[in-house]
A and B are shown apart, each in its own frame.
Chain A
Amino acid sequence: MGDIAAELEATVRAAAASGTKLSIVAGGSKSFLGRDVAGECLDVSGHSGILDYQPAELVLTARAGTTLTEIAQCLEDCGQMLPFEPPVFDGKATIGGTLACDAAGPARPWRGSVRDATLGVTLINGRGERLRFGGQVLKNVAGYDVSRLQAGAMGTLGVMTEVTVRLLPIPAATATLVREMDAAAAIRRMNEMTRTPLPISAAAWLDGKLYMRLEGAERAVAGARGKIEADFDSGDESIWRHIREQSLEFFKGSTPLWRFSVASNSGHRNADEPWLLDWGGAQRWLRGEFDAQYLESLACDLGGQVSLYRHGDRSGEVFHPQVPAMRNVQMRLKKSFDPHGIFNVGRMYDGI
């Protein structure tokens, strides 16, 4: 627990003056995500501590380097949680890094992403100015939404020093159900069920099995269970943790891991390949050596995008390519925050 914002600010100012590139690191060990980036390490993990927690407001403000584990422990006492069910990875993940990567777990389609829960940030921009955007209230439309813009920006727009997020009560009851079926049938089933007002909070398919999680008030879960139990069995709840933490056998080894973010109901393709479907069909993982262009056109067919998530060549582009007009907008946006090009340059795309 500590406040090193002033030091971070000074470092950024010096880097801006000398044009020194910085690589922002919080929990560390995340070199696998995004592209390789050179630069002096700017360690923000020392900037940690919960600053404000108001259970009745469902709002928490923490320094960006605070670990998710610390936050979860604090929330649990009041029966609350971070809605986006983020991976905690050996306790290393921080709230700043989680927002920068928009890293959300299986509940994401139902409870929203990190972006959705974000209410405010304090950010040191590339001019070394510490700026506050958003705040602690749910509704705030004064100025542009710079806080939510940080989600998935991978630290290329600035160093976050404080993050305010919205919380949810921990559901009173939960149940995990499982049933054998193939992936194509699972996609249909997940979408069918998501269309109805069942208290679903996760739906995933792997190894020939569809897993569903129900969460809510005691009576809601019991009622919903009654409705769908006929053809499902009770499943092991730990499946969700393993999917979230990527600790399943599926994720092990050094074969490239591809992430598809697509329309939830798009058809199942390349059925012989090793797939894991999450987010009710909207997030699909694929293992193997593939031609990136081939997967990109496949992703477009499925109504979305693909990225080379882990392993493989991290020196080339790893995220879905952008059309020139989009690339132009993104370059200019980067420049508006980071005119001297010092933050995580190239982590997202070449030059960004």
Chain B
Amino acid sequence: MNASAKTDDGGKLALAARFRELLRADQIIVDAESKRPYECDALPVYKAMPLLVLVPETTRQVQAIVRLCYELKVPVVARGAGTGLSAGALPDSNGVLVSLARLSRIIEVDPDARIARVQPGVRNLAISEAAEEFGLYYAPDPSSQIACSIGGNIAENSGGVHCLKYGLTVHNVLGMEIVTAEGEILQVGGRGLDTAGYDLNALFIGSEGLLGIVTEVWVKLLPKPEHARVVMAGFDSVLNAGDAVSAVIAAGIIPAGLEMMDGFAIQAAEDFVNAGYPRDARALLLCEVDGNEDEVLEHVERIESLFREFGATSCRVSRDDAERALFWKGRKAAFPAAGRISPDYYCMDGTIPRRKIGAVLEAIQQLSEQYGLRISNVFHAGDGNLHPLILFDASVPGELHAAEELGGKILELCVQVGGSITGEHGVGVEKLRYMLAQFNDAELAQFHAIKDALDPAGILNPGKGIPTLRQCQEYRSIDASGGAKR
């Protein structure tokens, strides 16, 4: 993978010399040991060494880096905190990796306009912490929010538990400053709710670092709800739990969060954090409602009675914020809990229409048996975003491969029932081949046309997000020859 880097040491040093005209020596990482932490994101199945890692501290430096890369036609990969789960920040072995970690200033919090202006390296949670003194917060809350950066959130259009009610990143960003592939600085959007021309906020958010590098962001802040409670209910089947989810929404209630865990996940989480989950349940729902206190109480009553009507075997309402936090603790620890019961796990991410939850979970169970790999399901039931955790042991030959193949089957299933191959983790390198399940050649060609319009030289995060037409042919011929699915 890094053959060219090895053979081209001279080239690497010459390139480093060019960057030394733009950056201090300590902002340019050349040696292999210091580059090591950047060789992958949170999906370490894919690894590569970049020629150089660059650590700019200002927009101007980012601009200068991109300009030089554009001139030399050197690939540029942006990196936030490296918590991505689709190898989106995987370095290019013939290019530079640009870490935005030092652009980490909260430039301004304007409580009256309910706007925060921040640099891309700011951690998601840090924005809410800064807004706290004004009674405000930033709504999208990916489970990785302690670590992940707002720049990475924009690239992945990240969501979280609260996005059923409060939307995804795209609903909560007003504007950005972007360095284009040609090294121009663009202001996209602004402090108002819209700007004339094409909505580039919509285009850039979720574009996985393929269209530009984000160097500043204006996010919307919301008033913190007065009151919140969680209804926790156990069910003896995932089908009943799925129906109960639909019933809540159909009753005109939009919960702030609505999460489901299957029996396996309940056990793992309960062993890990003792949240008081009903161990005998086959499915657990956590339904949070927030707002004005009276409104919350009104909705909690409705939800409790709906849950019982749909066969809940147990039902509890959090009495205070401490208990609410405890109920969530098990959910939030679901991934590490799986890590305790299995040497390795592979976290999938796909979305389906809510009404298909029961049927899809059953099909996933069948696939699990067919492949002989256990699957733990913890997911955002309110918006149909599944996260099956496929448990495997990488030291057993063939298990990683089987886990990947099984994961692919699940994604194809998601598309078949009208969903998507990725809800929030992105395509990156990981899901390139499954783009074929969701899009035809003309649609993929339109994506390439957009990419060419914004990055004519193709230097930004090449090889990610959208499969090339050649890759598509390769994938198809593998499938046609009946060969291994991966």
Interface positions of A (Cβ within 8 A of B): 54-59, 78-79, 102, 108-109, 112-113, 115-116, 125, 127, 129, 131-133, 135-146, 148-149, 151-153, 157, 168-170, 172, 191-192, 194-199, 216-220, 222-224, 260-266, 279, 282-283, 303-305, 307, 319-320, 322, 325-326, 328-330, 332-337, 348-349, 352
By beta carbon, the residue of chain A nearest B212 is A329
Size class of the B contact interface (CB-based, 8 Å): 35 or more
On whether A262 and B192 interact (CB within 8 A), knowing A140-B422, A142-B422, the answer reads: yes
Q: Is the CB of B443 within 8 A of A133?
A: yes
Report Cα–Cα, A320/B294, bound state, in Å: 45
Complex contacts, B87 vs chain A, CB 8 Å: none
Q: Is the CB of A113 within 8 A of B193?
A: yes
By beta carbon, the residue of chain B nearest A305 is B195
Known pairs A139-B385, A153-B198; list 4 more (Cβ under 8 Å). A57-B353, A142-B435, A149-B203, A326-B197
27 A-B contacts (beta carbon < 8 Å): A56-B354, A133-B443, A135-B420, A137-B423, A138-B163, A140-B422, A141-B424, A141-B427, A142-B439, A143-B435, A152-B194, A195-B136, A196-B223, A197-B226, A224-B292, A261-B192, A261-B195, A265-B112, A303-B191, A304-B190, A319-B197, A322-B196, A326-B197, A332-B454, A336-B452, A336-B453, A352-B197
Complex contacts, B203 vs chain A, CB 8 Å: 144-145, 148-149, 333
Q: Is the CB of B453 within 8 A of A333?
A: yes
By beta carbon, the residue of chain B nearest A131 is B443
Report Cα–Cα, A211/B327, bound state, in Å: 41
Report Cα–Cα, A222/B293, bound state, in Å: 12
Q: Is the CB of A139 within 8 A of B454?
A: no
Residue in B115, B163, B205, B295 whose CB lies within 8 Å of A217: B295
Q: Is the CB of B225 within 8 A of A336?
A: no
Report Cα–Cα, A136/B417, bound state, in Å: 10
Q: Is the CB of A137 within 8 A of B419?
A: yes
Q: Is the CB of B110 within 8 A of A329?
A: no
State the Cβ distance, A295 to closest chain B Cβ, in Å. 13
Residue in B136, B206, B249, B384 whose CB lies within 8 Å of A144: B206
Q: Is the CB of A222 within 8 A of B294?
A: yes
By beta carbon, the residue of chain A nearest B352 is A137
Report Cα–Cα, A303/B115, bound state, in Å: 12
Complex contacts, A218 vs chain B, CB 8 Å: 298
**Interface set, chain B 131-182, CB cutoff 8 A to A:** 134-136, 156-157, 159, 163-164, 167-168, 170-171, 180
Q: Is the CB of A54 within 8 A of B355?
A: yes
Q: Is the CB of A139 within 8 A of B168?
A: yes
Residue in B192, B208, B426 whose CB lies within 8 Å of A305: B192
Q: Is the CB of A138 within 8 A of B435?
A: no
Q: Is the CB of B250 within 8 A of A56?
A: yes
Report Cα–Cα, A157/B203, bound state, in Å: 13
State the Cβ distance, A102 to closest chain B Cβ, in Å. 7
Contact mask for chain B residues 450-484; partner A; CB cutoff 8 A; 1 contact, 0 none: 10111000000000011000000000000000000
By beta carbon, the residue of chain A nearest B434 is A142
Complex contacts, B113 vs chain A, CB 8 Å: 191, 263-265, 303
Q: Is the CB of A220 within 8 A of B435?
A: no
On whether A320 and B195 interact (CB within 8 A), knowing A131-B443, A139-B383, the answer reads: yes
By beta carbon, the residue of chain A nearest B174 is A263
Top 6 closest pairs, chain A to chain B, by CB: A219-B294, A169-B252, A304-B192, A139-B423, A220-B295, A148-B202
By beta carbon, the residue of chain B nearest A227 is B292
Q: Is the CB of B112 within 8 A of A282?
A: no
Q: Is the CB of A143 within 8 A of B447?
A: yes
On whether A199 and B292 interact (CB within 8 A), knowing A326-B197, A329-B180, the answer reads: yes
Q: Is the CB of B114 within 8 A of A333?
A: no
> CB of B421 within 8 A of chain A?
yes
Report Cα–Cα, A266/B193, bound state, in Å: 13
Q: Is the CB of B111 within 8 A of A195?
A: yes
On whether A282 and B253 interact (CB within 8 A), knowing A57-B355, A116-B167, A139-B385, the answer reads: no
Complex contacts, B198 vs chain A, CB 8 Å: 149, 152-153, 157, 330, 333-334
State the Cβ distance, B174 to closest chain A Cβ, in Å. 9
Complex contacts, B171 vs chain A, CB 8 Å: 112, 116
Complex contacts, B191 vs chain A, CB 8 Å: 262-263, 266, 303-304
Residue in A109, A131, A333, A335 whose CB lies within 8 Å of B193: A109
**Interface set, chain B 377-423, CB cutoff 8 A to A:** 380, 383-385, 418-423
Interface-centre pick from A222, A223, A224 (highest chain B CB count, 10 A): A223
**Interface set, chain B 180-219, CB cutoff 8 A to A:** 180, 184-187, 190-200, 202-203, 205-208, 211
Q: Is the CB of A307 within 8 A of B383?
A: no
Complex contacts, A349 vs chain B, CB 8 Å: 197
Report Cα–Cα, A224/B292, bound state, in Å: 8
Q: Is the CB of B167 within 8 A of A112?
A: yes
Residue in B194, B380, B420 whose CB lies within 8 Å of A102: B194
Report Cα–Cα, A89/B401, bound state, in Å: 58
Q: Is the CB of B355 within 8 A of A265?
A: no
By beta carbon, the residue of chain B nearest A138 is B383
Q: Is the CB of B453 within 8 A of A335?
A: yes
